[in-house]
Amino acid sequence: MNNEVISQGVKRQFKDDLFEQFARIGKALSSGRRLELLELLAQRERSVEELASEAALSVANCSQHLQILRAAQLVAVRRDGLFSRYRLADEQVLRLWLSFRQLGEARLAEVSRVVETYLKDRRALEAITNDQLIARLRTNDVVVLDVRPEEEFRAGHIAAARSIPITMLEQRLKEIPQRSTIVAYCRGPYCVFADDAVGLLRKHGYQAYRLQNGFPEWKMQGLPTATGAQS
């Protein structure tokens, strides 16, 4: 009887210890600011200062969030001279973030309401899927524009894409064939760089669409990617 009690107690402790370890991941993901940092790191490696600037955080606050993510083994860090540069720990973390976001989209009606509130014009900007873009690329009748910052393009991009950051698009319109169909993409479904690009291109008479998702989703689908500057 006494041995059975001990055995049950050991089993209970095992479960408590095990699930508490899994809960570390949940705790690390329990902040919207940390989720935003993961989305930024899904594009490329960044310093604390770069992340703080992109996420409108103080460097000290950003560093605290990164330490929580690092303690949960979701991000890794390397020294680069005077800077610490952070990246997602591996592709499993990217897959986790994308699945986490998709679950929120499926279960939380508030997600759609927030998108509708802030992206009111999006319905007019027709989106195409990854599969539709692949089909167009096979017939060679589309120009794919990566409108993210150039550093993100160099870190990884759709293999057929041209880099024209949204901040430079209006000055570089002459580089884009007027008669081609244009598909613009950026960081993901809630990044507005592609929306802005499509709006600008249509204003100047182009037939333009936004890609429904961004580069991380394309990469995780196993579709063709490249790194480095465009040739």
Q: What is the CATH number of the domain that holds 144?
A: 3.40.250.10
Express each pLDDT in 63-112 by its tens digit: 999 999 999 999 999 998 888 999 999 999 999 999 999 999 999 999 99
> Within this chain, do residues 68 and 145 fall inside the same structural domain, yes or no?
no
Task: Report the alpha-carbon distance of residue 11 to residue 39 in Å, rounded.
Answer: 38
In a domain, 66, yes or no: yes
Is 211 in the same domain as 154? yes
Query: pLDDT category, 118, cuts 50, 70, 90?
Result: confident
Name residue 122's amino acid: R
Whether residue 47 lies inside any domain: the answer is yes
39 vs 123, which has greater pLDDT? 39
Q: Are residues 129 and 222 in the same domain?
A: yes
The answer for residues whose C-beta is within 8 angstroms of residue 209's C-beta and 6 or more apart is 125, 126, 127, 128, 181, 182, 183, 184, 198
117: phi then psi, degrees, rounded to nearest 5: -70, -45
Residue 108 domain-assigned (yes or no): no
On whether both 79 and 142 belong to a single domain, the answer is no
**Is the C-alpha dihedral spanning 41, 36, 196, 133 positive or negative?**
positive
Whether residue 103 is contained in a domain is answered as no
Q: What SS3 class is residue 80?
A: strand
Count of beta carbons in the 10 Å neighbourhood of residue 75: 23
186 catalytic? Reply is: yes
Co-location of 89 and 158 in the same domain: no
User: Which residue in 28, 52, 75, 186 is the catalytic one?
Assistant: 186
The answer, yes or no, to whether residue 4 has pLDDT greater than 80, is no
d(CA 96, CA 73): 12
- CA dihedral over 191, 194, 196, 199, signed as positive or negative: negative
Q: How many whole angstroms separate alpha carbon 231 and alpha carbon 229?
A: 6
Same domain, 82 and 141: no
**Statement to judge: residues 222 and 128 lie in one domain:** yes
User: Does 19 share its domain with 69?
Assistant: yes
| Residue reference for tokens 């993100």 | 152
Structural domain ending residue among the three candidates 71, 93, 115: 93
What single-letter DSSP state applies at residue 52?
H
Rounded mean pLDDT of 40-53? Answer: 97
Q: Report whether pLDDT(116) > 90.
A: no
Instruction: Please report, as a single letter, which amino acid is at residue 164.
Output: I
pLDDT of residue 206: 95
- CATH number of the domain where residue 86 is located: 1.10.10.10
pTM beyond 0.85, yes or no: yes
**Same domain for 163 and 84:** no
Quote the domain boundaries for residue 197.
Answer: 124-226
Q: What is the pLDDT of residues 12-37, one digit of tens each?
A: 899 999 999 999 999 999 999 999 99
Question: Is there a domain that residue 115 lies in?
Answer: no
pLDDT tens-place string over residues 131-182: 999 999 998 889 999 999 999 999 999 999 999 999 999 999 999 999 899 9
Contact 216/42 with Cβ under 8 angstroms?
yes
Give how many domains the chain has, as a whole number: 2
Q: Average pLDDT, stretch 109-122?
A: 87
Confidence of residue 9 (pLDDT cuts 50, 70, 90): confident
Domain boundary, last residue among 93, 111, 146: 93
Judge if 89 and 29 occupy the same domain.
Answer: yes
User: What pLDDT does residue 2 have?
Assistant: 58
